[in-house]
Amino acid sequence: MFAYKYKKLMKDFIDEVIIVEDFERDYLKTFKNDTEGMDNTLFEILNGVFAAVDCYWHECLPGQETAFEISEQQLRKEVCEALVKLNNLLNNP
């Protein structure tokens, strides 16, 4: 199931195996090419991460987030939350 590649990508980012710029590039590329045939629950989780990645701005500092710009710290928080949801979905089909 292709959802596992998202899980690995998110886990690698959270565990600092990859840097934020690599996560941003790889996630956007993967998501733009993979949404066809996704069920609604999976799409909602992954689209939430897509929106967070899209709002990430490298110059945004923690505590200065807006509705349109978030810091790396906030991005990590949102990816962590999405990973919990994704794990729950994958473990409870």
CA distance 4 to 85: 13
pLDDT at 93 over 70: no
Written as one string, the DSSP assignment of 53-64 is HHHB-TTPPTT-
Residue range(s) defining the domain that contains residue 22: 3-91
CATH code of 49's domain: 1.20.120.650
**Cα 51 from Cα 63, distance rounded (Å):** 19
Instruction: Give the number of domains in the chain.
Output: 1
What are the tens digits of pLDDT across the range 8-31?
Answer: 999 999 999 999 999 999 999 999
Looking at residue 92, its pLDDT comes to 75
Long-range contacts from 33-42, C-beta under 8 angstroms, 24+ separation: 34/2, 41/89, 42/3, 42/86, 42/89
Determine contact, residues 49/78, Cβ cutoff 8 Å.
yes
pTM tops 0.95, yes or no: no
Q: What is the pLDDT of residues 33-73, one digit of tens each?
A: 876 778 899 999 999 999 999 999 999 999 999 989 999 99
